[in-house]
């Protein structure tokens, strides 16, 4: 029983990371590029820092949304299958 719970928790954490890391990395890379641009041009506009990052993350969500839904669907099916096996024990 404890092994089942540990496997379920590990699977949930890994699925969360698998879904969130691509979008977060895109936001990190765009933020780094904008920061370098601001440092080299000495433009310190606050909206220049947030708007490109938000747009890039939104575009990433639109492009990766179907893949994310597939990963979440597979996780949900694994959870239902695990519950059925656990109840059947």
Q: Which pLDDT does position 58 carry in this prediction?
A: 96
Indicate the pTM of the whole model.
Answer: 0.80
Q: Each residue of 4-27: pLDDT tens digit?
A: 889 999 999 999 999 999 999 999
Q: Each residue of 56-74: pLDDT tens digit?
A: 999 999 999 999 999 999 9
What is the DSSP code string of 11-79? HHHHHHHHHHHHHHHHHHHHHHHHHHHHHHHT---HHHHHHHHHHHHHHHHHHHHHHHHHHHHHHHHHH
Q: Does the pLDDT of residue 89 top 70, yes or no?
A: no
Domain boundaries, the chain: 2-88
Return the structure tokens found at 9.
Answer: 């928790």
Of the candidates 37, 26, 21, the one whose C-alpha atom is nearest the C-alpha of residue 71 is 21
């Amino acid at each position: 029983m404890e092994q089942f719970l540990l496997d379920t928790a590990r699977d949930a954490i890994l699925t969360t990371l698998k879904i969130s890391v691509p979008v977060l990395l895109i936001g990190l890379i765009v933020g780094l590029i904008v920061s370098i641009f601001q440092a080299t041009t000495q433009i310190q506009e606050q909206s220049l820092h947030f708007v490109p990052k938000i747009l890039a993350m939104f575009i990433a969500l639109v492009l990766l949304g179907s893949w994310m839904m597939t990963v979440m669907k597979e996780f949900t099916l694994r959870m239902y299958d695990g519950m059925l096996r656990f109840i059947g024990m």
